[in-house]
Amino acid sequence: MSSQDAAPARFERDEDLVRESMGERSDRPSPPIEIVTIGDELLRGDLVDTNGGWLAAELHALGLPVTWMSSIGDASGDIVGAFERAFERSQVVIASGGLGPTDDDRTLTSLAQAAGVELRRDEGAFRHIEAIFARAGLSFTPNNESQAWVPEGAAVLLNEQGTAPGVRLSLPGRRGGAGCHVFCLPGVPREMKWLYQRYIAPWLQEQLGLRPARRRTLKVFGIGESTVDHRLEGLLDDVDTSGCEVSVHYRATFPENHVTLLVRPPEGGGEGAEVLADALAEEAARRLDGHLFAREAAHSYGDALVAALRGAGATVALAESCTGGRAADLLTNATGSSEVFELGIVAYANRIKQRQLGVPEAVLVEYGAVSQACVEAMARGVRERAGATYGVAISGIAGPGGGSPDKPVGTVHFALDSADGTRHLHRVFPYDRDRNKLLAAYVALWLVLREVKGVEKGSATDPLDGRWRERR
């Protein structure tokens, strides 16, 4: 099959093989699903396998829980063995990794060996790879051609995010058993996700007649996972599900907490699931009010702040010390940040705080750089210099050294300056240097987000519900 035949719009149902391997959807449970992630770097601990978790979540949302998941190295024998085991016990296999041009990228040669077929050069894939190199003005070395060699009989899934194409190889059952559909994807997360969403998810839905769950994701900051769970207790009580399968899932991704609602419609139904998913998301958002910043999985923390500032016609300037630009990075990762972000200054040295931000020398001498007086002066200084609506400042001791009895490691002072005055916040974080810096950046932007949304105006409430207060 050529690479062009792999596009979802041109799928032809593999009727005999699907009937043999999957059975009728209504007569039997989900087919065994297996995920295999490939690469020595995973076994050495150089990289954490995020691909497997992401794929498992996506498959679960389609109603296809994963039965097996494993990580293996780059040795050909290990990869062949993994595929041979998968052929025997699984009906859908998704492998990621090992599709690059180097000598240790052996996934497709190993798949061909396990399946008992030869490799062939796919001309469509070869031209696609050549075109990518030409557009980028890069030299096309001979080893790049290896990415166009695929197992005989495999459909090529062209990759618009990189050079390595994915493949789909469907195999008949062995010894009277079920058949197996194998998908191979690059290990680069961005490319893997794009190929899965472009090709695999539509293929699975069409071939298996799946009932994808309606998914609603809510993201919160400033309260812990247990508090989120407590606030959502009883969310599904006395809810008319109208035959839908409903579940609530929690995920802590420091320093955020995510809640995902899955509503899977009954056979032949769909409209009710959409209505129910929206209603549950609305009620969950009400319960999490004050700490909710996003209601879409793709909506980042920076996206939320940019949207709020744009909606208010406001701008912000940042003066950072211990965070080293992390707050500015979070903000500028969001599309549209250039419309709302005026100025960022990383003022590490005291003389720079004086020269660039106008912090009085007397403040630094009497109170030090990690103090309320210093961050308030920093916030005022950066706002005045930028002409921004808001000025935000951060100064602290990220660790692991530099602390004292009066200012222990993790001490951070924040200030938000606006035309309405200056607000101050003091916290002591208990984490390592990297997480203290990341959390401090989040808190600084959180002050702005709540101010823009009007949560803080006229309110003396703690924006973090008392979390990370200094305990004496």
Rounded distance between C-alpha atoms, residue 190 and residue 194, angstroms = 6
Could you tell me what percent of the chain has a pLDDT over 70?
90
Read off the pLDDT of residues 263-299 as tens digits, 9 standing for 90 and up: 989 877 667 899 999 999 999 999 999 999 999 989 9
Domain positions in the chain are: 3-208, 214-294, 301-453
Integer Cα distance of 81 and 84 in angstroms? 5
Region 304-317: mean pLDDT is 98
Q: How far apart are CA 158 and CA 176, in angstroms?
A: 33
Element (H, E) at 444: helix 433-453
Stretch 3-16: mean pLDDT: 37
Q: How far apart are CA 346 and CA 66, in angstroms?
A: 46
Report the candidate in 459, 458, 455, 472 with the shortest Cα–Cα distance to residue 222.
Answer: 455
pLDDT of amino acid 389: 98
Which CATH architecture group holds 214-294?
Answer: 2-Layer Sandwich (3.30)
402-430 confidence digits (pLDDT tens)? 999 999 999 999 999 999 999 999 999 99
Fold: same for 3-208 and 301-453? no
Residues 470/427, Cβ–Cβ less than 8 Å? yes
Average pLDDT, the chain: 91
pLDDT at 23 over 60: no
pLDDT tens across 29-81, in order? 678 999 999 999 999 999 999 999 999 999 988 889 999 999 999 999 999 99
Please name the residues in contact with 136: beta carbons below 8 A apart, sequence gap of 6 or more. none
Residue 26 has a pLDDT of 39
pLDDT digits (tens, 9 = 90+) for 430-440: 999 999 999 99
340 pLDDT above the threshold of 70: yes
Q: How confident is the model at residue 469 (pLDDT cuts 50, 70, 90)?
A: confident
Burial per residue of 392-425, b for 16 or more beta-carbon CB atoms within 10 angstroms, e otherwise: bbbbbbbbeeebeeebebbbbbbbbbbeeebbbb
**Which of these, 461, 344, 443, lies nearest to 398 by C-alpha position?**
443
φ/ψ of residue 465, rounded to 5:
50, 35
Strand 92-96 relative to strand 390-396, pairing:
unpaired
How far apart, in whole angstroms, are the C-alpha atoms of residue 266 and residue 249? 20
CATH topology for 301-453? Maf protein (3.90.950)
* pLDDT tier for residue 398 given thresholds of 50, 70 and 90: very high
Helix (H) or strand (E) holding 258: strand 256-264
pLDDT in tens, 199-235: 999 999 998 888 888 999 999 999 999 999 999 999 9
Mean pLDDT of the 135-164 span:
95
In CATH, what class is 3-208? Answer: alpha beta
Q: Tokens for 83? A: 């595929």
- Could you read off the pLDDT of 86-140 as tens digits, one per residue? 999 999 999 999 999 999 999 999 999 999 999 999 999 999 999 999 999 999 9
Q: Is the predicted pLDDT of residue 168 greater than 60, yes or no?
A: yes
